């Protein structure tokens, strides 16, 4: 039997401290020392404006890194303008944020990521990543040394659909070769769990608890469930 697990990335396999607000703050730290802003100043300005904030809207026209970043960069530049920087400086800070966020050294694998993936591979499971992420996700995965464990890395930025959009899962299933058995594993109860289950894919919620879903504390819980 052909068996595949679809994996989310951020919060599931790895984490980046501060995520987007952390990257924006780091850009300010590096380019505007003494700026006086904190993450709480940034967070309210980034709760919208990213493609995954409107997952019902396809963005296949942004399926190249330059196009995707031009689109997101406009929002990032707005954030910095809203903090009081002029247009030229805001654009420079937005470009710096891209470099900071896509630096693989900013991501840390969870301790259980590699051993749990290896254990599942030994049991006959194949692995693909399906994540709402930046175009550079395949490079980040490579730089973290995960390439040998994954057959494909699908970033929403490049496929043009955000989870929980049904087409995101359809693309992943086609990339996996329409396996006999498939699971989705992620840390988002809506994008990962509800999205997968809406198209008939059983899902497991990891590293957080949420009513009405199948939660496990870590990836060893995934190993126990799927066998």
Q: Which element (helix H / strand E) includes 5?
A: strand 3-7
Return mean pLDDT, the chain: 96
pLDDT, tens digit (0-9, with 9 covering 90-100), for 161-207: 999 999 999 999 999 999 999 999 999 999 999 999 999 999 999 99
* Average pLDDT, integer, range 206-211: 83
Whether 149 and 115 have beta carbons less than 8 Å apart is answered as no
Reply yes or no on whether the pLDDT at 24 is more than 80.
Answer: yes
Reply yes or no on whether the pLDDT at 104 is more than 90.
Answer: yes
Taken in order 121, 126, 131, 134, is the CA torsion positive or negative?
positive
pLDDT of res. 116: 98
What percentage of the chain carries pLDDT values higher than 70?
99
Q: At what angle do helices 19-31 and 87-101 cross, to 10 degrees?
A: 120
Question: Which residues, other chains included, contact 66 with Cβ-Cβ below 8 Å and sequence gap of 6+?
Answer: none
pLDDT of res. 187: 95
Reply yes or no on whether the pLDDT at 102 is more than 70.
Answer: yes
CATH code for the part of the protein at 3-15+107-226: 3.40.50.1000
pTM: 0.95
Task: Compute CA distances 7 → 20, 133, 204, whole Å.
Answer: 21, 12, 10
**In the numeric block, which tokens belong to residue 95?**
């470009």
User: Given the DSSP bridges, would you call strands 203-206 and 215-216 parallel, antiparallel or unpaired?
Assistant: parallel
pLDDT of res. 212: 65
Hey, where are the domains in the chain?
3-15+107-226, 16-105
pLDDT of res. 210: 75
- Residue 206 has a CB neighbour count (10 Å cut-off) of 28
pLDDT of res. 118: 98
Please tell me the chain's helix, strand, coil percentages from 3-state DSSP, rounded to the nearest 5: 50, 15, 35
* Average pLDDT, integer, range 130-154: 98
Reply yes or no on whether the pLDDT at 143 is more than 90.
Answer: yes
Tell which phi-psi region holds residue 27, choosing left (phi > 0), alpha (psi between -120 and 50) or beta. alpha
pLDDT of res. 208: 87
pLDDT, tens digit (0-9, with 9 covering 90-100), for 61-100: 999 999 999 999 999 999 999 999 999 999 999 999 999 9
């Amino acid at each position: 039997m052909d068996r595949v697990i679809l994996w989310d990335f951020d919060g599931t396999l790895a984490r980046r401290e501060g995520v987007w607000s952390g990257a924006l703050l780091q850009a300010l730290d590096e380019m505007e020392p003494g700026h006086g802003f904190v993450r709480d100043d940034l967070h309210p300005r980034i709760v919208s404006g990213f493609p995954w904030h409107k997952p019902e809207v396809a963005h296949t026209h942004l399926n190249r890194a330059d196009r995707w970043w031009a689109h997101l960069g406009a929002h990032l530049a707005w954030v910095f303008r809203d903090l009081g920087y002029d247009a030229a400086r805001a654009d420079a800070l937005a470009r710096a944020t891209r470099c900071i966020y896509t630096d693989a050294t900013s991501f840390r694998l969870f301790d259980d990521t590699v051993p749990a993936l290896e254990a599942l591979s030994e049991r006959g499971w194949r692995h693909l990543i399906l994540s709402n992420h930046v175009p550079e996700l395949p490079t980040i995965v490579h730089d973290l040394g995960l390439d040998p464990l994954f057959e494909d890395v699908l970033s929403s930025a490049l496929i043009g659909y955000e989870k929980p959009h049904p087409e995101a899962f359809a693309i992943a299933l086609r990339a996996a070769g329409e396996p006999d058995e498939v699971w989705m594993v992620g840390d988002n109860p809506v994008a990962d769990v509800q999205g997968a289950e809406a198209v008939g894919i059983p899902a497991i919620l990891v590293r957080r608890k949420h009513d009405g879903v199948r939660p496990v504390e870590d990836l060893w819980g995934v190993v126990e469930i799927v066998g």
